[in-house]
Structure 1
Amino acid sequence: MKQNLVRGFLAATFAACTSAVGTPVIAPRASSTVVPVTVSGNAFYQGTERFYIRGVDYAPGGGIGTPTDPIADSAGCERDIPNFTKLGINTIRVYTIDNTANHDACMNALAAAGIYLVLDTDTPLYSLNRADPAPSYNSIYLQSVFATIDAFANYPNTLAFLSGNEVINNASNTNVAPYVKATTRDMKQYIGSRGYRKIPVGYSAADVEANQQLMAEYMNCGTDDQRSDFYSINDYSWCDPSNFQTSGWDTLVANYSSYGIPLFMSEYGCITNNRTFEEVAALYSPEMTSVFSGGLVYEYSEEGNNYGLVTINGNTATPNDQFTYLETAYKNTPNPTGLGGAKTSSPASNCPPESAQWQVANDDLPAIPAPAAAYMKSGAGKGPGLSGPGSQAAGTTENESTGTASAGSGTVTETASASSGTSTSTAKSAAARVGGGFSVVVALLSSLVMGMLLL
């Protein structure tokens, strides 16, 4: 009966949604009671309460090799959100979206269920090329990234943006790190310059022992505009049956004990032997919450790799034993009371020196390409979606970085009005920009009457 009530509520939510019309920069979003998540010290907060990520990685259809956007699939969201609710999660991670699509129906239904989104801004066609990063860090790539920010910045349940996923994927390609960090800096500056609320930006690191922690230090060193807002790791070292010491998670916590920004697991859930999610109890225990803010289980749907919690067949998603184990683990594991050992300060790390494991000669970052810098005032405009020509081979002398950035170059000095492209000296809040939750139609009518929409 409870499941039927949830489905009925979600169906009503989807039926009430209409397609939004407008540019990606100015489109208002429906009102919601979801409290945006913020960063303070080394933790996330929902209002004044510590926020722990309890979630799953969500990429239905990802196993077929064709990029898909699950947040644009309202029928898929209607099918899957009741299972999210049953699991008791509060966050999903999505790896790919179409930044030309409308996402109101699914994002509003997720918000109604109290579920936040961690979103990768790269797509297979628009991403850094780890084999030759300099030409791929160009304004065409950044335009797509910025357009994705435009598409999701005004949803209050957008928890965070990821500037990359496993771009460094072995011990010998750390030379791409400055371009990942520059992209992170550019995303933070774009969010501030466009007047959006301060949505956290960070990176998802591969499970590579040689450089995962070095990358963490690198993403948290330098000036504030260069530092990541958080860091996340993909970790599969706890394989049931195991424990805090056998898995090496005790060493993991010790290694990050003085880390100054929030840290969470963007993927976890080893499938060796049994998969009963014993690690959930450890992840949300005081042994770990002074350093980690939870994590995301890989992954929701079965995509041919045996990691799936459900099997999808059309409009039906059938849970398996792993789903039941995770549901039980979450249910039996409350969050710690109070702040869970979180730190209130946010010290920068020391940039790692060049070494055999870290092929970065100094702390310099590439300057943002000139055409991409112009988007700070003008806005990125319409994105390329999932079928554009791509950016990795699109670098030219006109759209690539042409020098080294000076420290502090990513600091927000002006805030552009998202509706007009003009600049003001102070940022407007997201609530002011959307007119306190007016619909698109009301906003457009207001613009006709008043001559302009004050966002």
Structure 2
Amino acid sequence: MKGAISSVAVALSLGAQFVLAAPSDVAKRGSGVTPITVKGNAFFKGNERFYIRGVDYQPGGSSKLADPIADAESCKRDIKNFQDLGLNTIRVYSVDNSANHDECMKALADAGIYLVLDVNTPKYSLNRANPAPSYNDVYLQYIFATVDMFSRYDNTLAFFSGNEVINDGPSSVAAPYVKAVTRDLRNYLKEQKLRQVPVGYSAADVDTNRLEMAEYMNCGTADERSDFFAFNDYSWCDPSSFTTSGWDQKVKNFTGYGIPLFLSEYGCNTNKRQFQEVAALYSTKMTGVYSGGLVYEYSEEDSNYGLVTIKGSDVTPLPDYKALKSALDKTANPQGDGNYNKTGGANPCPKKNSPNWDVDSTGSLPTIPKPAEKYLKDGAGKGVGFSGKGSQWAGTASSSNSTGNGSSSSGSSSGSSSASTTSGAAGQTSSAAASGLVKPFTVSMAPVAVSLVTIVSTLFGASFILL
């Protein structure tokens, strides 16, 4: 843990080197891509069903807090591999919102590649152990500035307002804060008349409250519900099958779910990865419920999930790269609409079931902190980037605490808010050492590479990182 912390401290100092700049109109106009929208429980590119065929992209992992979208040269280098693999989406866990991202975003757009972006960073995130103080105006200003910047790119597909904040039963008490953040992000986009980029949550695959978390993100009033739901799933470990992995039961459990669902991380590496799950994920056995997924991860880090190794400017494909390429090449998307749920809609809120789901279904969400209301009206202004001081023990918190679902409070001064979540900037549960992924329907121990940064920030707060 010490090594990760010291590495983060060094990397944070690099933030000042980036030049502050908002996306230019030229970059946006030249995107040449159709923004992705939500219809029922699916994503669409115009009138065509859109399936996420992607990879998680955070070179350096926890040892180097860096912004891959601000590094145009490396971004363009890696785009060639994204195209070779047949990808249409990448996920990035942390960006410096004081940097300029035009060049990389345009290069991605020219290649037909979309971005799913986590809006949090290690220093600007919710603290799952003590969420109330960390849900404050300083935090919201930071993430508002991030969505303000990236909503202007047509190839920004979606924002993750959090990643694995809820990673067991006791931490479910943070769910109302997680949901309030997505509400606030959607409200900010609306009030600032920005493109309504879908906002949702990336959940841990926790068997005791996986379904409850999904239901919670899609219950209550329209302004409080999430645009989509995703979770990190490592339950298919080759050699396996649709039934052996338990994916058939997950499809059954989520049938009828009213918003898009996809895998924000997948690709168990307990055994040699063949990516057999690709054929299932893009088949009509699953596409009525799922909209694809993102493979963990592009670059080889300490947890050995990489598709390539990166040394300086040299990129070398690993066996997993070839295996994924083969699986994707052999697997086409279904013809037509993939049997998606055209009507969509909300579901009932899950009932409290302590200790697995410790959320009162009749409660309300925290209201937006009073000082943050001005950002909805006047805009968030400039982002402070990686060099910022952090938010977890700063600013003014919400005046209302919550223990339940936001069925009665939008938490917005204008009354036009919306819903979902927030966390750190990585891909992993805090208890994970990723030494072995467990059987289906147990807590999935996701990779540790990017996630050590999230663990530190979420459990201990930004002040711990800066010690």
Query: Normalised by the shorter chain, which TM-score bucket?
Result: 0.7 to 0.9
**Aligned partner letter, 1:78:** K
Matches within 5 A, 1:57-136: 57-64=56-63, 66-136=64-134
Residue deviations 1:209-250, cap 9 Å, x none?
A: 111111100000000010000000100000000000000000
Are 2:360 and 1:367 aligned?
Answer: no
On the 8 A contact 2:367/2:409 being kept in 1, the answer is: no
Residue deviations 1:341-381, cap 9 Å, x none?
A: 11111221111111121111233100001111111111000
TM-score by length of 1: 0.83
Rounded Cα–Cα distance in structure 2 between residues aligned with 1:256 and 1:22:
42
State the identity %.
59
Aligned to 1:36: 35
Matches within 5 A, 1:22-33: 29-33=28-32
Q: CA deviation at 1:31?
A: 2.1
Aligned to 1:260: 258
Rounded Cα–Cα distance in structure 2 between residues aligned with 1:161 and 1:235:
19
Rounded Cα–Cα distance in structure 2 between residues aligned with 1:26 and 1:89:
26
Residue deviations 1:412-444, cap 9 Å, x none?
A: 6689xxxxxxxxxxxxxxxxxxxxxxxxxxxxx
Aligned to 1:53: 52
On the 8 A contact 2:373/2:413 being kept in 1, the answer is: no
CA 1:413–1:293: 2 relative to 1, 3 Å = same
Task: Tell me the secondary structure at the aligned position of residue 144 of structure 1.
Answer: helix
Aligned to 2:389: 389
**Aligned partner letter, 2:38:** V
Q: CA deviation at 1:403?
A: 2.3
Structure 2, unpaired ranges of 5+: 1-17, 418-467
Rounded Cα–Cα distance in structure 2 between residues aligned with 1:105 and 1:268:
29
Task: Tell me the secondary structure at the aligned position of residue 188 of structure 1.
Answer: helix
**Aligned partner letter, 2:56:** D
Task: Tell me the secondary structure at the aligned position of residue 241 of structure 1.
Answer: coil
**Aligned partner letter, 1:95:** Y
Aligned with residue 398 of structure 2, among 401, 404, 417 = 401
Aligned to 1:165: 163
Rounded Cα–Cα distance in structure 1 between residues aligned with 2:280 and 2:366:
40
Aligned with residue 184 of structure 2, among 183, 186, 193 = 186
CA 1:27–1:410: 2 relative to 1, 3 Å = farther
Task: Tell me the secondary structure at the aligned position of residue 272 of structure 1.
Answer: coil
Q: Which range moves more in the overlay, 356-365 or 341-350? A: 356-365
CA RMSD of aligned residues (A): 2.0
Structure 1, unpaired ranges of 5+: 1-18, 416-455
Residue deviations 1:383-424, cap 9 Å, x none?
A: 1201211111114xxx21112675345496689xxxxxxxxx
CA 1:23–1:300: 2 relative to 1, 3 Å = closer
On the 8 A contact 2:166/2:203 being kept in 1, the answer is: yes
On the 8 A contact 2:237/2:245 being kept in 1, the answer is: yes
Residue deviations 1:134-171, cap 9 Å, x none?
A: 00000000000000001101100000000000011122
Rounded Cα–Cα distance in structure 1 between residues aligned with 2:415 and 2:214:
27
Task: Tell me the secondary structure at the aligned position of residue 354 of structure 1.
Answer: coil
On the 8 A contact 2:281/2:290 being kept in 1, the answer is: yes
On the 8 A contact 2:367/2:412 being kept in 1, the answer is: no
Aligned to 1:198: 196
CA 1:221–1:413: 2 relative to 1, 3 Å = closer
Are 2:377 and 1:377 aligned?
Answer: yes
Rounded Cα–Cα distance in structure 2 between residues aligned with 1:392 and 1:26:
34
Instruction: Could you list the structure 1 runs, at least 4 aligned residues long, displaced by more than 4 angstroms after superposition.
Output: 19-28, 408-415
Larger radius of gyration: 1
Rounded Cα–Cα distance in structure 2 between residues aligned with 1:151 and 1:183:
17
Task: Tell me the secondary structure at the aligned position of residue 157 of structure 2.
Answer: strand
Aligned with residue 272 of structure 1, among 267, 270, 273 = 270
On the 8 A contact 1:25/1:379 being kept in 2, the answer is: no
CA 1:25–1:175: 2 relative to 1, 3 Å = farther
Rounded Cα–Cα distance in structure 1 between residues aligned with 2:26 and 2:372:
21
TM-score by length of 2: 0.81
Q: CA deviation at 1:197?
A: 1.4
On the 8 A contact 1:28/1:154 being kept in 2, the answer is: no
Task: Tell me the secondary structure at the aligned position of residue 54 of structure 1.
Answer: strand
**Aligned partner letter, 1:365:** L
Aligned to 2:9: none
Rounded Cα–Cα distance in structure 2 between residues aligned with 1:88 and 1:34:
16
Q: CA deviation at 1:329?
A: 0.6
On the 8 A contact 1:193/1:413 being kept in 2, the answer is: no
On the 8 A contact 2:23/2:100 being kept in 1, the answer is: no
On the 8 A contact 1:189/1:411 being kept in 2, the answer is: no
**Aligned partner letter, 1:170:** D
Rounded Cα–Cα distance in structure 2 between residues aligned with 1:168 and 1:409:
21
On the 8 A contact 2:300/2:310 being kept in 1, the answer is: yes
